[in-house]
Structure formats: C-alpha cells, structure tokens
Amino acid sequence: MYLTRKSLSRRALLRGAGYALALPLLESMVPAQTPISKTAASPRPRLACIEMVHGTAGSTLDGTNKHYWSPQKTGADFEFTESLKPLEAFRDYLTIISHTDLNPATAHSAAEEGADHFRSSAVYLTAAHPKQTEGSDILAGISIDQIYAQKFGQDTPLPSIQLCIENVDATGACAYGYACVYADTISWSSPTTPLPMTIDPRMAFERLFGDGAKPAERLARRQLERSILDGITSDVARLKKDLSPSDRARLGTYLDNVREVERRIQRIEKYNVSGEARSLPAAPVGVPDSYEEHVRLMFDLQVLAFTTDMTRISAFKMSRDVSQRVFPESGVKVPFHSASHHGESPSKIADFAKINRYHVSLLPYFLDKLRNTPDGDGNLLDHSLVLYGSPMGDSHVHNHKRVPILLFGHANGQLKGNLHVREKDGTPMANALLTILHKLGVDRPAIGDSTGLVEV
C-alpha cells in the first residue's frame, strides 16, 4: 500500500494480491496554499465519446419538419423535443448542435455505394473517409479521443479506455469491400491503428483494477465470489483514521460503488454459467442479456475511471451497425436495423423516434452519476465533456446529413450549456469535433473536412 504520508499522493493506490485500487480525489491529497491545490480544484477535463448507430428519425425530412430531434427554437430558450425529453433535468449541462453533415462517411466512388453501414463508425470521431479494403492496409484518421489522449492522457495510468455493447469479428471482411474493423470501433490512435473495444464488463473491471494477477488467480477469486476489497479491509481502516470526516465519507461512497459494480458483474457471471437459457448464448460470460444493464455497467465503469483519474478519456459504442436487437422498453417490437429502414413512412418514422428516445433515456443514468460525484471545486459533470451522436442521418437512405450531436457538461467552464445551435445546411460535423478539441485545450487548426468552429 502506497499510503505512508498524511499528505497523500494523487496517485496513491491500495494494493492487494493481483490488483491495485486507485483512490478518488481527497482533501488530504491537496494541501491548502500549494500549487497542486489549484490544479486539483479545476482538474483536466474528462472526455467521453458515445456513439449510437443508425441515425435518428429527426434527420428525415418528415422528422425534421416535426422536430423529432432538433428543437424548433435556438439559443437558450429551446424546447425539449420528443426524442430529447428524457434530458430535461440536464438543460443547464446540455448543448445541442444541429444540421451538420458528415460527408466523409458518404461514398466517394461507385464501388463504395451502399457501404455506409460498414464505414460510418470509422468516420464518427475522425471525420476521415476510410479506405475501401478487406485487407490489412486499412486507413482512416486519428479520432478526437486519441488526439486528446496523446496530448493530455499520458500522465494517467490508462491514457484512454474503449468500451462497446455489441461487436463483430474485427479480423474479417464485412461487406462491400470493407474490413469489419471499420465498423467495430470508433477509436483510432493513428490513421492505420484502430483500437479494440471491450464488450465484457469483467474485462473492463479487471483492466481498471487489475495489477498483474494471473488469469488463474482472478478465476479463483471469482469462483469464491470474493471481492477485490477483501484483501484491503485493514488498510482501509488504517487509512480512514488519518482522514477528515468528509474524506472518510467520500472514500466510503467510492468503495461502496466499486463493490456494487463488482457484485453485479458476479451475479451476471453466476447466472450465465448456471445452465439457464441465455438470450445471448455467444456473448462472453460477463455480458448480461439485458441491454440496459450492460449499458449501465459500462457507464458505471467510466464513472469509476474518471473518479480516480485512472483515465480521463473514454470511447463507448452503444450499438453496432445493422444490429437487429429489439428494444421492447421503447414500445417498438421491430428490430433496430429494420426499424431504421422506415421507407419514409410517417408512422414508421414515429416508431423509430421512440427507439431514439429510449436510447437517449439511458443517458441520464450516466449524467446523474457524473453530476453527483464531487470533483475539485465542482462535480465530474462540471469537469467533463460528453459527446453523444451518430455518424448517420436518415438511415433509410443511408445519408449523413443533419446528423445528431449532443454535448453534455461544462468542460471546466468552456461550455455554458442550455444552448441549441443550428448550423447552416451543409456545415461539416467536423466543425463540432474541432470545437470539442479546442474546448479541451487542444489548439488544432483542422480535423477531417472542418471549415471552422461552432460558436458554443
């Protein structure tokens, strides 16, 4: 255990057999009247990039006219549309950017026609047109999460994390001459280096808290249903003696959150190996059948990572293109991809809007956790920038016009929130990506096909 001084290091760890538990920011880590106290009060912003595939009903002509997604009003007095109503409690943290296009995701030749599903994700955070290839000579661009990680993520234990809910075999060819890796990740550390995304909550948990344990040791602990906290009980008790009441409360809440996430993963694994029928028999043992539980676990892991500054950057793929998953909670029983091909029928577009609303309704769980987690002179949502969007617009015709973009958080005062900005038709979505980088302190002249910044 690296806890020998009353003034604790920001990188202090509680070590057990095969794992290392990072700590949240405590008052005892930031003595008053020291340079570190100013840094701790306003820490480097966190960046969470979330992708939802298949566009939105609000990107269709009918959906635009009916304002399924983008509000009719701009500025601070915007109304919450049907798809965005679940976000009303976060108005002061919400920035909506509408009517931007992601042109690099469109076909650049006749041979690329029809392949939008298989290149869109590679364009989402890069604004770079992917090379059409089924071989190893893949080529796209650097994604904004990795641009930020390369500049401001190298002093954290993990420069970034990549998570997903569904994936495909990234080693093969998908369709229309594109390698599957283009559709399997949104995070690229270089134009030729896509980063794999973790679908298994257990693997993500072990990456955050594992520290050299052998697979057999981790398996034995899971089989005994032991917690990573079991081996540090006495160390935690000793640490608490030297902490203020507020620090003890914060540490207790954090440890409870770690244990609660771990217990949920254990329950999922126990059920999945019990022999009971699974809805997702091919999924890893740590993946729940419930889509919503899977999403919430991944959100919880991101919050834990941001709380401890294990990493400041996450990329999260909430679905995959051509997914036929059904979301009964939305009130629509049509599979996701089929529903996105609505034939421009107003009634089917309205049903697709219900699916969009359901996906948006999952975000407050994450946002609320961020808002309720103290961080420096505010909370994690004050010190974060969360991007939620899609690289596709009207999915029925596979276009990339009027793509949906939502920003959450204040990014250390760089975003004021409570704002809807409607750009001129044809404005590149890359302008929003470039704006995000500038708000995070990355002074980059351009990305992809950007032509300037969005005034937010």
The 10s digit of each residue's pLDDT in 87-112 is 999 999 999 999 999 999 999 999 99
Give the residue-averaged pLDDT of 161-184.
Answer: 87
Question: How far apart are the C-alpha atoms of 215 and 171, rounded to whole Å?
Answer: 24
Which two three-digit tokens encode residue 121? 């994700």
- Residues 16-51 pLDDT 10s: 767 788 899 898 887 655 555 555 667 899 999 999
- Return the exposure string of 49-70: e unless at least 16 CB atoms fall within 10 Å of the residue's CB, then b: bbbbbbbbbbbbebbbebbbbb
Split at pLDDT 50, 70, 90, the class of 127 is very high
pLDDT at 4 over 80: no
pLDDT number for residue 30: 75
Give backbone dihedrals phi and psi of 173, rounded to 5 degrees, phi first: -105, 140
pLDDT number for residue 219: 64
Q: Cβ of 372: how many Cβ atoms within 10 Å? A: 12
Question: How far apart are the C-alpha atoms of 392 and 275, rounded to whole Å?
Answer: 39
Torsion, Cα 263 266 270 273, to 10 degrees, reads 160
The radius of gyration of the chain's CA atoms, rounded to the nearest angstrom, is 22
pLDDT number for residue 224: 57
Q: pLDDT averaged over the chain?
A: 92
- Residues 391-439 pLDDT 10s: 999 999 999 999 999 999 999 999 999 999 999 999 999 999 999 999 9
- Point out which residues pair with 178 in neighbouring strands: 175
- Residues 363-379 pLDDT 10s: 999 999 999 999 989 99
pLDDT number for residue 40: 60
- Point out which residues pair with 314 in neighbouring strands: 48, 161
pLDDT number for residue 19: 75
pLDDT number for residue 231: 81
From 360, 384, 380, 361, select the one nearest 371 (Cα to Cα): 380
Q: What is the enclosing helix (H) or strand (E) of 427? A: strand 419-428
Question: How far apart are the C-alpha atoms of 362 and 86, rounded to whole Å?
Answer: 8
Taking CA atoms, 278 is separated from 19, 35, 138, 165, 318, in Å, by 31, 54, 35, 16, 20
Split at pLDDT 50, 70, 90, the class of 171 is low
pLDDT at 160 over 90: yes
SS3 (DSSP) at 26: coil
Question: How far apart are the C-alpha atoms of 181 and 169, rounded to whole Å?
Answer: 8
- Residues 322-363 pLDDT 10s: 999 999 999 999 999 999 999 999 999 999 999 999 999 999
Split at pLDDT 50, 70, 90, the class of 3 is very low
Q: Check the CA dihedral 88-92-94-95 and report its sign.
A: positive
Split at pLDDT 50, 70, 90, the class of 221 is low
Which two three-digit tokens encode residue 257? 């959150």
From 120, 137, 139, select the one nearest 183 (Cα to Cα): 120
Domains identified in the chain and CATH numbers: 1-41+210-286 (no CATH), 46-199+287-439 (3.40.720)
Give the Cα-Cα-Cα angle 201, 203, 207 (nearest 5 degrees). Answer: 115
pLDDT number for residue 169: 64
Taking CA atoms, 325 is separated from 81, 133, 170, 336, 353, in Å, by 25, 27, 19, 6, 16
